Structure 1
């Protein structure tokens, strides 16, 4: 198989590109497009014009798919070419066996992508079997689509989200703190799930969310099973060659505007938030240590304060070198679900979550992204993520619980995280 790369004429923004591709797919009766926007594989966006997806119900089958890659020659630096777009839901590893209406996992093979590089140049890239002609007609068609006037924004009916009673979340937090006090675990992520109705265009919701919130790790996937609109700030895994990186987020305070830096300083000085982050960073270091070369795992960045919509977060980075003979499936078995949204020790935290949370999580706190035979693997942590199915929409929110947690403050943290997304739902483009 060979790689084809074609520069395209100047085009619009990634969110405009997704809306144009979504309109094309509807006109032609094709499966919907998929999109990654923000910071993916060193590019500003990676999209495919149409993605036929397959669903998975077992963890082994779902984690095996990203490693099933063709051998590609004639490589170009920075290219993505194509690969497996998809998601892994938290439900895959929920010991309670609960699930939501969406599939436990979805993957779809893309033989071409539109990539917006860091300099603002659009590229058509394709993976072409040896002996087959280059898809120049498709490249020209998609180039014209990108260069055309921006499509109208996708619309939806304004609607809020229903919240479960605060008392239920408080009780779960209190019980979790008691388990920590008994020495059962160091921390656990305790979450809840908001829900409501949705009448409109999922691609439009994603495009407007990207335009307003500028998330670093946004993903749009859709099929006859429903849709997922992830406006995540968090990197779960990035593998390029044998190098692996994870950037867990743990620690949160509200953020009202860009000048609100006193709360950023308070977050860095918070004993509770720093403890949260350090414990999860150590857990991620341990997870990567199971599949990386001995001595290669290190923490080049610890406790960096960064902004996200509505909040400040503490970020740390762990990296290592994947051991010879191991692949993305081995890496995922060692690390999924993400440590930042489970707890420490992870297995005990999974059990605690199953006992204390009142609803399944679904895709929320799983992972979404792309596995490319050229560029490697990149997955987000599926937080700040809408799940859509049959006229309904859900949003999961939560936070890490330690011995120093205050139940009322933990509920407020959930509301702070949800606020920008609830505002988006209530205020569609006009």
Structure 2
């Protein structure tokens, strides 16, 4: 079955197109953060989710989740059988798209968190979309891609919605009603850090990713905040998920989790971070310090080994290889060390099996993975919710891409929640690790407080 393509007018910033699509409901924008981010190319915009895909379990029970992934994989194969891409340059042609939160990972590994999970946000939101808008910022091309069963009348309505002269809904407002504050005190963070050091010294684990949560009060439309944040903290695996009303997930992640192109699998873990500085000399020293840091390189290597093991559950034996190790990548607010691992997906495995058996990403758990997750569940007082989960798509033609949902803010009700974390190893310094949690998200806080805080100019 052939896809249907309608060429549209390319927009330098996909935000204006997304504004026009939001009224269809269930809108999601997978955002390469052009024109600010390096390395991004495609934006994927969807809305009007179909209701016929298998429903995700509300309770995060491991047996139910395993059954859900199995059923979803069967449903995907049957629904999209015979779909062939009309253009191999398009990354997504309709299919499944959404997020998986961190907590389903606990269930898949048989771990019960010590903290209560009280969020209204569903732990999994993967919906089927019959059409999408793809922005290719390299070729300056915009395409409406529709599956064969989308009617000509519906395609015409969407084209009219996005055409020249079409109006978006009236811009709303956004306000912060308090500054961002951590839910845990510095002393509580220090206690958790010291417990991790005890576990490491006892040989229980080698590395544990410890995060803390920050909160602020807000009102209004979170998309306004997102469009401001992407100007100062752009990243190629960003995304915005409309959760209804004035609730949304805002993600400005630089990290790919898993991609599948044909039978080729890739993961690109980030481990090792330093802040950026306006002064060029200081910024260069920060980057050099990260590149030459034995501690950060050791952390990165631990996670590379962990992910090679995870991929080994789904890839052809002998196909897994480290293509790049300890590469420096610089983003508007931080420098990172990034490695690239590739393999070939086994014949009896598909993207959903790969995702299930590798979830959550090892770069945000620690090593060994299950023991690190048990320690996280013991020591972190708050649910991670969407943080350290994944935004992803599984296209009708079998391609998949996904991120690690770091640098994420959840706007829900009147509360913004944001998390920052880092890997703890034997030679970590508690004060430095605490500061790193702020370094990773502090620019978000200062930007929103200055622009939308109670003392900001109206």
TM-score by length of 2: 0.86
Q: Which residue of 2 aligns with 1:208?
A: 228
Deviation at 1:17, TM superposition (A): 1.9
Stretches of structure 2 lacking an aligned partner (at least 5 in a row)? 453-457
Secondary structure of the residue aligned to 2:3 is strand
Q: Which residue of 1 aligns with 2:29?
A: 35
Q: Which residue of 2 aligns with 1:11?
A: 11
Contact 1:154 1:205 in 2 (8 A): no
User: Equivalent residues in 2 for 1:157-306 (5 A)?
Assistant: 157-158=175-176, 159-163=178-182, 164-224=184-244, 226-257=247-278, 259=280, 260-306=283-329
Deviates more, 1:204-213 or 1:120-129: 204-213
1:65–1:190 distance in 2 versus 1, CA, 3 Å: farther
CA distance in 2, matches of 1:135, 1:296: 44
Does the alignment pair 1:108 with 2:127? yes
User: Equivalent residues in 2 for 1:351-430 (5 A)?
Assistant: 351-374=374-397, 376-428=399-451
Contact 2:321 2:343 in 1 (8 A): yes
Deviation at 1:211, TM superposition (A): 2.9
Contact 2:213 2:417 in 1 (8 A): yes
CA distance in 2, matches of 1:243, 1:42: 20
Deviation at 1:55, TM superposition (A): 5.1
Does the alignment pair 1:143 with 2:162? yes
Q: Which residue of 1 aligns with 2:455?
A: none
CA distance in 2, matches of 1:51, 1:207: 23
CA distance in 2, matches of 1:176, 1:104: 27
Out of 150, 165, 173, the residue aligned to residue 155 of structure 1 is 173
How many residues were matched structurally? 422
TM-score by length of 1: 0.91
1:77–1:93 distance in 2 versus 1, CA, 3 Å: closer
Does the alignment pair 1:76 with 2:82? no
1:177–1:64 distance in 2 versus 1, CA, 3 Å: same
1:183–1:120 distance in 2 versus 1, CA, 3 Å: same
Secondary structure of the residue aligned to 1:35 is strand
Contact 1:399 1:413 in 2 (8 A): yes
CA distance in 1, matches of 2:27, 2:196: 41
Q: Which residue of 2 aligns with 1:326?
A: 349
Contact 2:49 2:130 in 1 (8 A): no
Stretches of structure 1 lacking an aligned partner (at least 5 in a row)? none
Deviation at 1:302, TM superposition (A): 0.4
Q: Summarize deviations over 1:286-320 as a string: whole Å, max 9, x none.
A: 11011100111011110011112322111001110
Out of 93, 99, 104, the residue aligned to residue 92 of structure 1 is 104
